[in-house]
Amino acid sequence: MSAARPGEGRLKHVVIVDDSPAFCDLWSTFIAERYPQRVIVDTYAHPFEALPKIDGTIDLLIVDLEMPGMDGRKFVDYALQKGIPPKRIVVTSSHSAEALHERFRIGETIAVINKTEAKQQEAFLMILDSIMRR
């Protein structure tokens, strides 16, 4: 029996918290198709549904900045308290990258991504690939 190579073995757990069902569906389908049989994707349209599920076992947390009932900043702070390292958290928004960087300092998350900018999407794909290789 050979040892598992890095990136093989247990399934990666990705959690998407976004009040847009279209965004959740798009990214959960894309991630599942890009990494078949290597990932479990859970989506939550409301942050309060996701809160009880947040813990340090999540490999990637994708959080929308603006959601009903809870600001994405507060959700990220909660996730950090629950043991998710900053290098496993991505914040998404329709705001510009500059506006996002004003809300989140370097090191508080692995990335802040504008949902609509093509270059930002390319950076997001690089992050996904990196996490799946770990």
Instruction: Give the mean pLDDT of 57-66.
Output: 94
Q: What is the pLDDT of residues 79-111, one digit of tens each?
A: 999 999 999 999 998 887 777 778 888 888 888
> In this structure, what CATH number is given to the domain that contains residue 61?
3.40.50.2300
Q: Tell me whether residue 118 is in a domain.
A: yes
> Quick one: tokens of 108?
């508080």
Q: pTM of the entire structure? A: 0.87
In a domain, 4, yes or no: no
| Number of domains into which the chain is organized | 1
Residue 7 lies in a domain: no
Quick one: which of 32, 31, 68, 30 has its CA closest to 49? Answer: 68
Classified as helix, coil or strand, 17 is strand
What distance in Å separates the CA atoms of residue 84 and residue 78, rounded to the nearest whole number?
A: 9
What number is the average pLDDT over the span 41-46? 95
